[in-house]
Amino acid sequence: MPVVTYRDALNQALREEMDRDPNVFLMGEEVGVYQGAYKVSRGLLEAFNERRVIDTPIAELGFAGIGVGAAMVGLRPVIEFMTWNFALLAVDQVVNSAAKMLYMSGGQIPIPIVFRGPGGAALQLAAQHSQALESWYAHVPGLKVVAPATPYDAKGLLKAAIRDDNPVVFLEGEMLYNAKGEVPDGDYTVPIGVADVKREGSDVTLICHSKTVTVAERAAERLAAELDVSAEVVDLRSIRPLDTETIVTSVQKTNRCVVVEEGWPFCGVGAQVVDELQRRAFDSLDAPVLRVTSADVPMPYNKKLERAAKPNPDRVIAAVKQVAYLD
Protein backbone atom coordinates (compact mmCIF):
# COMPACT_ATOMS: atom_id res chain seq x y z
CA MET A 1 0.00 0.00 0.00
CA PRO A 2 1.34 3.48 -0.82
CA VAL A 3 2.78 5.45 2.08
CA VAL A 4 1.78 9.10 2.02
CA THR A 5 1.79 12.05 4.38
CA TYR A 6 -1.23 13.25 6.31
CA ARG A 7 -1.06 16.42 4.18
CA ASP A 8 -1.17 14.49 0.91
CA ALA A 9 -3.89 12.20 2.18
CA LEU A 10 -6.05 15.27 2.78
CA ASN A 11 -5.11 16.55 -0.66
CA GLN A 12 -6.21 13.26 -2.22
CA ALA A 13 -9.53 13.44 -0.40
CA LEU A 14 -10.20 16.97 -1.65
CA ARG A 15 -9.14 16.10 -5.19
CA GLU A 16 -11.24 12.95 -5.36
CA GLU A 17 -14.34 14.56 -3.87
CA MET A 18 -14.07 17.57 -6.19
CA ASP A 19 -13.73 15.15 -9.10
CA ARG A 20 -16.72 13.19 -7.92
CA ASP A 21 -19.11 16.04 -7.15
CA PRO A 22 -19.22 19.35 -9.07
CA ASN A 23 -20.95 21.00 -6.09
CA VAL A 24 -17.83 20.64 -3.93
CA PHE A 25 -15.53 23.67 -3.85
CA LEU A 26 -12.66 24.85 -1.66
CA MET A 27 -12.55 28.36 -0.24
CA GLY A 28 -10.16 30.00 2.17
CA GLU A 29 -7.06 32.09 2.68
CA GLU A 30 -4.11 31.14 0.45
CA VAL A 31 -5.73 27.93 -0.78
CA GLY A 32 -5.18 28.70 -4.47
CA VAL A 33 -2.25 30.66 -5.84
CA TYR A 34 -0.15 30.12 -2.71
CA GLN A 35 -1.07 26.40 -2.77
CA GLY A 36 -2.22 26.41 0.85
CA ALA A 37 -0.53 27.80 3.94
CA TYR A 38 0.30 24.18 4.85
CA LYS A 39 0.20 22.93 1.24
CA VAL A 40 -2.86 20.79 1.78
CA SER A 41 -4.41 22.25 -1.37
CA ARG A 42 -1.27 21.90 -3.50
CA GLY A 43 -2.15 21.59 -7.17
CA LEU A 44 -5.88 21.99 -6.73
CA LEU A 45 -6.07 25.42 -8.36
CA GLU A 46 -4.38 24.02 -11.45
CA ALA A 47 -6.67 21.00 -11.46
CA PHE A 48 -9.98 22.76 -10.83
CA ASN A 49 -9.37 26.45 -11.67
CA GLU A 50 -10.36 29.51 -9.75
CA ARG A 51 -14.07 28.84 -9.98
CA ARG A 52 -13.70 25.96 -7.53
CA VAL A 53 -10.57 26.89 -5.60
CA ILE A 54 -11.21 30.34 -4.23
CA ASP A 55 -8.71 32.55 -2.48
CA THR A 56 -10.33 34.87 0.03
CA PRO A 57 -9.32 38.03 1.80
CA ILE A 58 -8.49 37.67 5.49
CA ALA A 59 -12.10 37.77 6.61
CA GLU A 60 -12.93 34.53 8.41
CA LEU A 61 -16.40 35.55 9.52
CA GLY A 62 -17.31 36.71 6.04
CA PHE A 63 -16.10 33.74 4.03
CA ALA A 64 -17.36 31.22 6.57
CA GLY A 65 -20.78 32.84 6.20
CA ILE A 66 -20.53 32.85 2.43
CA GLY A 67 -19.84 29.14 2.65
CA VAL A 68 -22.91 28.60 4.82
CA GLY A 69 -25.03 30.64 2.43
CA ALA A 70 -23.81 28.58 -0.53
CA ALA A 71 -24.61 25.41 1.41
CA MET A 72 -28.12 26.75 2.11
CA VAL A 73 -28.84 26.60 -1.61
CA GLY A 74 -27.27 23.21 -2.16
CA LEU A 75 -23.56 23.59 -2.78
CA ARG A 76 -21.09 21.60 -0.69
CA PRO A 77 -18.39 24.02 0.42
CA VAL A 78 -15.12 23.09 2.06
CA ILE A 79 -14.05 26.15 4.02
CA GLU A 80 -10.40 26.16 5.01
CA PHE A 81 -9.32 28.15 8.04
CA MET A 82 -5.60 28.79 7.97
CA THR A 83 -5.75 27.69 11.58
CA TRP A 84 -8.59 27.17 14.02
CA ASN A 85 -7.20 30.02 16.08
CA PHE A 86 -8.39 32.42 13.38
CA ALA A 87 -11.69 30.58 13.11
CA LEU A 88 -12.67 32.10 16.43
CA LEU A 89 -13.55 35.16 14.36
CA ALA A 90 -16.03 33.00 12.47
CA VAL A 91 -17.54 31.14 15.38
CA ASP A 92 -20.84 33.03 15.03
CA GLN A 93 -21.32 31.60 11.55
CA VAL A 94 -20.29 28.09 12.58
CA VAL A 95 -22.49 28.04 15.67
CA ASN A 96 -25.37 30.43 15.04
CA SER A 97 -25.79 29.84 11.32
CA ALA A 98 -24.40 26.45 10.30
CA ALA A 99 -25.24 24.41 13.38
CA LYS A 100 -28.75 25.76 13.93
CA MET A 101 -30.13 26.31 10.44
CA LEU A 102 -31.68 22.86 10.00
CA TYR A 103 -33.37 23.00 13.38
CA MET A 104 -34.68 26.54 13.34
CA SER A 105 -35.99 26.12 9.81
CA GLY A 106 -38.01 23.13 10.97
CA GLY A 107 -35.91 20.73 8.90
CA GLN A 108 -36.05 22.70 5.65
CA ILE A 109 -32.42 23.73 5.25
CA PRO A 110 -29.55 21.29 5.75
CA ILE A 111 -26.03 22.75 5.73
CA PRO A 112 -23.64 20.34 4.00
CA ILE A 113 -20.40 22.13 4.76
CA VAL A 114 -16.93 21.23 6.03
CA PHE A 115 -14.92 23.71 8.07
CA ARG A 116 -11.37 22.46 8.17
CA GLY A 117 -7.86 23.51 9.13
CA PRO A 118 -5.11 22.82 11.59
CA GLY A 119 -5.61 23.06 15.32
CA GLY A 120 -3.59 22.44 18.42
CA ALA A 121 -0.15 23.65 19.34
CA ALA A 122 2.80 23.55 16.98
CA LEU A 123 6.20 24.69 18.24
CA GLN A 124 6.73 27.95 20.11
CA LEU A 125 3.89 29.79 18.42
CA ALA A 126 2.74 31.15 21.79
CA ALA A 127 -0.68 31.73 23.25
CA GLN A 128 -2.80 32.94 20.36
CA HIS A 129 -1.57 30.33 17.89
CA SER A 130 -1.53 27.24 20.11
CA GLN A 131 -4.84 25.85 21.25
CA ALA A 132 -7.00 22.78 20.78
CA LEU A 133 -10.62 23.88 20.58
CA GLU A 134 -12.39 20.57 20.01
CA SER A 135 -14.59 20.89 23.06
CA TRP A 136 -15.82 24.36 21.99
CA TYR A 137 -17.40 22.95 18.87
CA ALA A 138 -18.31 19.56 20.29
CA HIS A 139 -20.49 21.40 22.78
CA VAL A 140 -22.85 22.51 20.02
CA PRO A 141 -25.73 20.32 18.83
CA GLY A 142 -25.96 20.39 15.05
CA LEU A 143 -22.20 20.17 14.51
CA LYS A 144 -20.15 17.05 13.94
CA VAL A 145 -16.55 17.24 15.09
CA VAL A 146 -13.76 15.01 13.85
CA ALA A 147 -10.01 15.02 14.51
CA PRO A 148 -8.07 12.33 12.66
CA ALA A 149 -4.64 11.18 13.78
CA THR A 150 -3.35 9.20 10.79
CA PRO A 151 -3.16 9.75 7.03
CA TYR A 152 -5.58 6.85 6.47
CA ASP A 153 -8.17 8.33 8.81
CA ALA A 154 -7.57 11.86 7.54
CA LYS A 155 -8.44 10.90 3.98
CA GLY A 156 -11.36 8.65 4.84
CA LEU A 157 -12.88 11.06 7.33
CA LEU A 158 -12.52 14.08 5.07
CA LYS A 159 -14.32 12.25 2.29
CA ALA A 160 -17.05 11.23 4.72
CA ALA A 161 -17.28 14.80 6.01
CA ILE A 162 -17.68 16.23 2.50
CA ARG A 163 -20.46 13.74 1.76
CA ASP A 164 -22.21 14.40 5.05
CA ASP A 165 -25.32 16.59 4.89
CA ASN A 166 -24.42 18.31 8.17
CA PRO A 167 -21.81 20.89 9.10
CA VAL A 168 -18.59 19.10 10.05
CA VAL A 169 -15.80 20.73 12.00
CA PHE A 170 -12.68 18.99 10.77
CA LEU A 171 -9.66 19.55 13.00
CA GLU A 172 -6.33 18.66 11.49
CA GLY A 173 -3.19 18.40 13.58
CA GLU A 174 -0.76 21.16 12.74
CA MET A 175 2.09 18.87 13.78
CA LEU A 176 0.68 15.89 11.91
CA TYR A 177 0.90 17.17 8.33
CA ASN A 178 4.24 15.41 7.76
CA ALA A 179 3.20 12.19 9.49
CA LYS A 180 3.34 9.24 7.12
CA GLY A 181 1.14 6.22 6.87
CA GLU A 182 -0.39 3.72 4.52
CA VAL A 183 -3.21 5.04 2.41
CA PRO A 184 -4.85 2.85 -0.21
CA ASP A 185 -5.33 4.20 -3.70
CA GLY A 186 -8.85 5.10 -4.64
CA ASP A 187 -12.08 5.65 -2.90
CA TYR A 188 -12.89 4.76 0.70
CA THR A 189 -14.46 6.58 3.61
CA VAL A 190 -14.05 6.32 7.36
CA PRO A 191 -17.43 6.68 9.03
CA ILE A 192 -17.94 9.68 11.31
CA GLY A 193 -18.71 8.64 14.87
CA VAL A 194 -16.66 5.45 14.97
CA ALA A 195 -13.56 5.21 17.17
CA ASP A 196 -10.63 2.98 16.31
CA VAL A 197 -8.58 0.76 18.55
CA LYS A 198 -5.08 1.68 17.42
CA ARG A 199 -3.37 -0.79 19.74
CA GLU A 200 -4.92 -3.63 21.66
CA GLY A 201 -4.17 -4.16 25.32
CA SER A 202 -5.60 -5.62 28.48
CA ASP A 203 -4.49 -3.60 31.53
CA VAL A 204 -5.48 0.00 30.86
CA THR A 205 -7.33 1.99 28.19
CA LEU A 206 -5.74 5.16 26.84
CA ILE A 207 -8.35 7.34 25.15
CA CYS A 208 -6.96 9.91 22.78
CA HIS A 209 -7.45 11.69 19.47
CA SER A 210 -5.50 13.68 16.89
CA LYS A 211 -1.94 14.44 18.02
CA THR A 212 -2.30 12.72 21.37
CA VAL A 213 -2.67 9.34 19.63
CA THR A 214 1.07 9.41 19.08
CA VAL A 215 1.61 10.43 22.69
CA ALA A 216 -0.53 7.52 23.86
CA GLU A 217 1.13 5.05 21.51
CA ARG A 218 4.59 6.03 22.72
CA ALA A 219 3.43 5.74 26.30
CA ALA A 220 1.97 2.31 25.52
CA GLU A 221 5.25 1.09 24.04
CA ARG A 222 7.18 2.17 27.10
CA LEU A 223 4.56 0.80 29.48
CA ALA A 224 4.93 -2.59 27.82
CA ALA A 225 8.72 -2.50 27.78
CA GLU A 226 9.39 -0.92 31.15
CA LEU A 227 6.48 -1.95 33.34
CA ASP A 228 4.95 -4.94 31.60
CA VAL A 229 1.66 -3.04 31.42
CA SER A 230 -0.50 -3.77 28.38
CA ALA A 231 -2.23 -0.55 27.28
CA GLU A 232 -5.06 -0.37 24.78
CA VAL A 233 -5.03 2.80 22.67
CA VAL A 234 -8.47 3.99 21.58
CA ASP A 235 -8.43 6.79 19.02
CA LEU A 236 -11.74 8.61 19.19
CA ARG A 237 -11.37 10.00 15.63
CA SER A 238 -14.78 11.66 16.05
CA ILE A 239 -15.49 13.82 19.08
CA ARG A 240 -19.13 14.32 18.16
CA PRO A 241 -20.85 11.96 17.75
CA LEU A 242 -18.77 10.17 20.36
CA ASP A 243 -18.36 6.40 19.99
CA THR A 244 -19.29 5.56 23.56
CA GLU A 245 -19.72 1.90 22.66
CA THR A 246 -16.06 1.37 21.78
CA ILE A 247 -14.88 3.32 24.83
CA VAL A 248 -17.08 1.38 27.23
CA THR A 249 -16.22 -1.99 25.66
CA SER A 250 -12.53 -1.29 26.06
CA VAL A 251 -12.82 -0.15 29.67
CA GLN A 252 -14.98 -3.18 30.54
CA LYS A 253 -12.00 -5.24 29.41
CA THR A 254 -9.19 -3.22 31.04
CA ASN A 255 -11.01 -1.78 34.08
CA ARG A 256 -8.76 1.28 34.05
CA CYS A 257 -8.67 4.37 31.89
CA VAL A 258 -6.62 7.48 31.21
CA VAL A 259 -7.90 10.14 28.79
CA VAL A 260 -5.26 12.09 26.91
CA GLU A 261 -6.10 15.30 25.06
CA GLU A 262 -4.39 18.48 23.99
CA GLY A 263 -7.19 20.77 25.09
CA TRP A 264 -7.50 22.48 28.42
CA PRO A 265 -8.89 20.41 31.30
CA PHE A 266 -11.98 22.44 32.18
CA CYS A 267 -15.05 21.14 30.30
CA GLY A 268 -12.70 19.28 27.98
CA VAL A 269 -13.33 16.27 25.75
CA GLY A 270 -11.99 14.04 28.50
CA ALA A 271 -14.59 15.38 30.91
CA GLN A 272 -17.28 14.09 28.56
CA VAL A 273 -15.57 10.71 28.26
CA VAL A 274 -15.35 10.43 32.03
CA ASP A 275 -19.02 11.29 32.34
CA GLU A 276 -19.93 8.50 29.94
CA LEU A 277 -17.70 6.01 31.75
CA GLN A 278 -18.97 6.72 35.26
CA ARG A 279 -22.52 6.17 34.05
CA ARG A 280 -22.02 3.25 31.70
CA ALA A 281 -19.03 1.40 33.10
CA PHE A 282 -19.12 2.27 36.80
CA ASP A 283 -18.97 -1.31 37.95
CA SER A 284 -16.07 -2.09 35.63
CA LEU A 285 -13.77 0.60 36.96
CA ASP A 286 -11.04 -0.42 39.40
CA ALA A 287 -9.76 3.14 39.76
CA PRO A 288 -10.92 6.68 39.10
CA VAL A 289 -10.43 7.72 35.47
CA LEU A 290 -7.58 10.20 35.16
CA ARG A 291 -6.98 12.84 32.54
CA VAL A 292 -3.82 14.13 30.91
CA THR A 293 -4.46 17.49 29.27
CA SER A 294 -2.65 20.66 28.40
CA ALA A 295 -1.85 22.79 31.43
CA ASP A 296 -4.67 25.11 32.38
CA VAL A 297 -2.82 28.19 31.13
CA PRO A 298 -2.47 30.15 27.87
CA MET A 299 0.39 28.56 25.94
CA PRO A 300 3.77 30.08 26.89
CA TYR A 301 6.38 30.86 24.26
CA ASN A 302 9.43 29.60 26.14
CA LYS A 303 10.38 26.17 24.81
CA LYS A 304 10.75 24.44 28.16
CA LEU A 305 7.57 25.95 29.54
CA GLU A 306 5.73 24.98 26.38
CA ARG A 307 6.92 21.40 26.64
CA ALA A 308 5.76 21.30 30.25
CA ALA A 309 2.32 22.55 29.21
CA LYS A 310 1.61 19.81 26.66
CA PRO A 311 0.63 16.19 27.22
CA ASN A 312 3.60 13.85 26.82
CA PRO A 313 4.32 10.14 27.33
CA ASP A 314 5.87 10.72 30.76
CA ARG A 315 2.68 12.28 32.07
CA VAL A 316 0.60 9.50 30.54
CA ILE A 317 2.80 6.85 32.16
CA ALA A 318 2.54 8.62 35.51
CA ALA A 319 -1.24 8.60 35.22
CA VAL A 320 -1.29 4.92 34.26
CA LYS A 321 0.84 4.08 37.31
CA GLN A 322 -1.75 5.86 39.43
CA VAL A 323 -4.78 4.08 38.00
CA ALA A 324 -2.94 0.76 38.17
CA TYR A 325 -1.77 1.46 41.73
CA LEU A 326 1.82 0.87 40.70
CA ASP A 327 3.31 3.75 42.66
Partner 1 sequence: MSQPARLHHVEPGRAEFYHRLLRQMLLVRRFEERAGEAYAQGQIGGFCHLYIGQEAVAVGALNAIRPDDYVFASYREHAHAIIAGTAPGAVMAELFGREGGCSGGKGGSMHLFNVEHNFLGGHGIVGAHLPLAAGAAFASRYRGTDQVVLCFFGEAAVNIGAFHETLNMAALWELPVVFLCENNRYGMGTALERAAAVWDVYRRACSYDMAEETVDGMDVLAVYEATRGAVTRARQEHLPTLLEARTYRYMGHSMADPIHGHYRTKEELEEQKLQDPIQRLLRQLLDDELMTDAAIERMRGEVEQEVEEALRFADESPEPPPEALYTDVYRD
What is the nearest approach in angstroms of partner 1 to the Cβ of residue 239?
Answer: 15
User: SS3 letters for 81-146?
Assistant: CCCCCHHHHHHHHHHHHHHCHHHHCCCCCCCCCEEEEEECCCCCCCHHHCCCCHHHHHCCCCCEEE
What is the nearest approach in angstroms of partner 1 to the Cβ of residue 300?
Answer: 30
Nearer to partner 1, 193 or 265 (CB): 193
Look at the alpha carbons of 65, 53, 183, 76 in this order and tell me if their dihedral is positive or negative: positive
What is the nearest approach in angstroms of partner 1 to the Cβ of residue 93?
Answer: 7
Active site residue 139: no
Cα-only R_g, the chain: 20
Identity of the amino acid at 32: G
Nearest-angstrom CA–CA distance, 243 and 195: 6
From start to end of the chain, where are the E strands?
A: 3-5, 24-28, 53-55, 76-80, 114-119, 144-146, 168-173, 180-182, 196-199, 204-208, 231-235, 238-240, 257-260, 290-292
Scanning 56-64, 182-190, 252-260, 283-291 for contacts with partner 1 by CB under 8 A, the matching segment is: 56-64
Nearer to partner 1, 157 or 183 (CB): 157
What is the nearest approach in angstroms of partner 1 to the Cβ of residue 234?
Answer: 24
Answer yes or no whether residue 83 interacts with partner 1 by CB under 8 A. no
Buried b (16+ CB within 10 A) or exposed e, 301-313: eeeeebeebbbbb
Scanning 91-99, 121-129, 154-162, 214-222 for contacts with partner 1 by CB under 8 A, the matching segment is: 91-99
Active site residue 129: yes
Q: Are 285 and 257 in contact (CB under 8 A)?
A: yes
Out of 16, 17, 60, 172, which one is annotated catalytic?
Answer: 60
Answer yes or no whether residue 244 interacts with partner 1 by CB under 8 A. no
Answer yes or no whether residue 74 interacts with partner 1 by CB under 8 A. yes
- Which of 43, 86, 129, 166 touches partner 1 by CB under 8 A? 166
Nearer to partner 1, 77 or 173 (CB): 77
Site residues for partner 1 per CB under 8 A:
25, 51, 56-57, 59, 61-75, 92-93, 96-97, 101-110, 141-142, 144, 165-166
The residues annotated as belonging to the active site are 60, 129
